[in-house]
Amino acid sequence: MKSVDFLIVGGGVTGTTAAQTIRGLRPDSSVVILSDEPYELYSRILLTSYIRGEATQEQVFLKRNEWYQENRIDLVKGVSAQKLDANAHTVECANGDVYQYKKLLLALGARPIKLNVPGSELGNISYMWTIEDAEEVINALKGTNESRRPGGPLTRRGVVIGGGFIGLEFAHAFKVKGIETTILDGSEYYWGNRLDKQSSQVIQNILEKNGISVIAGEMVEKFVGSRENPQNVGKVITKSGKEFGCDLVGVGVGIKSDLGWLEGSGIKIDQGIVTNEYLETNLGDVYAAGDCANYYDVIVEGQHLVGTWANAATQAVAVGKTMTGVKTVFEAVCAYTARFFESTCSFVGMTEADFADEVVTRGTVAEGKISRIFLKNYPSTSSGSMTRIVGAIIANNFGEVAPITDAIKNKVDVSQNRDKLADANFDLHSLPIS
């Protein structure tokens, strides 16, 4: 058994940033990171830039072994945690190693949801989550994927499965590389699990204007190997019987944290690991942050599960402080923007429709930009009630991200301007920021 002051499970941006924060506050304490990947920290959000040739591999890697050594942070690579005993303060790993901790951070991140259909094991089907995924796509684009496409022809046709940010980035990367690209989305309309029909149409129009075919209402039945290289994908067949020839497939149907190994530990789980505003779990000396944490958001006053890089990094600093005794409330407006073909799609704050009391739409499909603003009613000591913006989905209207973020952060009462919000000519910068 190995004893450690601060044990971190997860070597991504959350775990690494938390370790760095802890080291700055506790220079003499032992810090261990358990990572199930064989690499130091690299940027997942730069992987599509790497594929497009806009970033080098060296730029993708954010930390190297020397950094961990200089900061006396013990990075244990290629090791998976498999059991937590909160009473004994121990974590058991799949390789048999056991670590006893004083403080434990669960920075588990998330994993792409895999398609469980016939042919899903074929080569050149990517989920764009690891550096290996990116390398495989790059090699496939060159037609020289030695591990799966020996002597294969140059990639010409790509199919993207799913809407969402990952699917959008796949489509952009494929098209930039000159590939004929088709998006298949199982929803009634593109990105239908998060967007309304109008916002969806704005994004779809931009994609189609740039030569990408978008087909909604099509679920994958199976993948079929190509004639030239049967070990690699050559065709997508949908449940309706339609066939789409391809040399490369990108899948983006969602992400989910692997929490199965925590069963029996007593930790509270509801979609993610439930925490308070300090990112403390219901177990003593156990914390959670990043993609796996369903944390109490003090701004919108509700539990919030967020899967973005920036949120993970920001939470890491807060939880690192709290773990060292500098108790810190995590208070931030989460936001993420995908950039594609000189256009944008942004999610700001709480964008779950069932959390809001009302959703206001600004802009039109004809204008090519739409903002959906999520409103919620709160009690007020002065007026009895107030209405606040808690989130927004902003399609190709990036200029509204900043004022909406400010309104959420400052808990602005928009009651008097409620009717004006739907008017695209109403300047959101004029909202009273106290």
Q: Is the dihedral of CA 418, 419, 420, 422 positive or negative?
A: positive
Looking at the domain assignment, is residue 317 inside a domain? yes
Q: Are residues 97 and 200 in the same domain?
A: no
Looking at the domain assignment, is residue 120 inside a domain? no
51: three-class secondary structure by DSSP: helix
Looking at the domain assignment, is residue 100 inside a domain? yes
Q: Are residues 91 and 15 in the same domain?
A: yes
Q: Are residues 21 and 9 in the same domain?
A: yes
DSSP state of 152: P
Looking at the domain assignment, is residue 116 inside a domain? no
Q: Are residues 406 and 423 in the same domain?
A: yes
**Adjacent-strand bridge partners of 126:** 250
Looking at the domain assignment, is residue 335 inside a domain? no
Q: What are the angstrom distances between the C-alpha of 327 and each of 1, 17, 23, 278? A: 29, 17, 16, 7
User: What does the pLDDT read at residue 144?
Assistant: 42
The domain boundary, picked from 254, 285, 308, lies at 254
Q: Are residues 284 and 369 in the same domain?
A: no
402: three-class secondary structure by DSSP: helix
d(CA 304, CA 352): 9
Q: Are 155 and 125 in contact (CB under 8 A)?
A: no
Q: What are the angstrom distances between the C-alpha of 277 and each of 21, 318, 332, 355, 409? A: 18, 10, 11, 18, 15
The domain boundary, picked from 235, 254, 273, lies at 254
Q: Are residues 233 and 130 in the same domain?
A: yes
Looking at residue 370, its amino acid is I
Closest by alpha carbon to 80, among 258, 291, 289? 258
The domain boundary, picked from 254, 278, 298, lies at 254
Looking at the domain assignment, is residue 266 inside a domain? yes
Looking at the domain assignment, is residue 286 inside a domain? yes
Give me the domain span that covers residue 268.
2-110+257-323
Exposed (0-12), middle (13-18) or buried (19+): which is 325, by Cβ within 10 Å?
exposed
Q: Are residues 136 and 228 in the same domain?
A: yes
Taking only the tens of pLDDT, the chain with its 434 residues reads 999 999 999 999 999 999 999 999 999 999 999 999 999 999 999 999 999 899 999 999 999 999 999 999 999 999 999 999 999 999 999 999 999 999 999 999 999 999 999 999 999 999 989 999 999 899 888 764 444 444 445 568 999 999 889 999 999 999 988 999 999 999 999 999 899 999 999 999 999 999 999 999 999 999 999 998 899 999 999 999 999 999 999 999 999 999 999 999 999 999 999 999 999 999 999 999 999 999 999 999 999 999 999 999 999 999 999 999 999 999 999 999 999 998 999 999 999 889 999 999 999 999 999 999 999 999 987 777 899 999 999 999 999 999 999 999 999 999 999 999 999 999 999 998 76
CATH code of 400's domain: 3.30.390.30
Q: Are residues 213 and 271 in the same domain?
A: no
Q: Are residues 226 and 161 in the same domain?
A: yes
Residue whose entry in the numeric block shows the structure tokens 């550096």: 131
Q: Are residues 208 and 155 in the same domain?
A: yes
Q: What is the pTM of this model?
A: 0.93
Total number of domains in the chain: 3
Q: Are residues 35 and 92 in the same domain?
A: yes
Q: What are the angstrom distances between the C-alpha of 90 and each of 4, 183, 271? A: 10, 45, 24
| CA contacts within 13 A on the Cβ side of 6 | 32
Q: Are residues 145 and 242 in the same domain?
A: yes
CATH code of 146's domain: 3.50.50.60
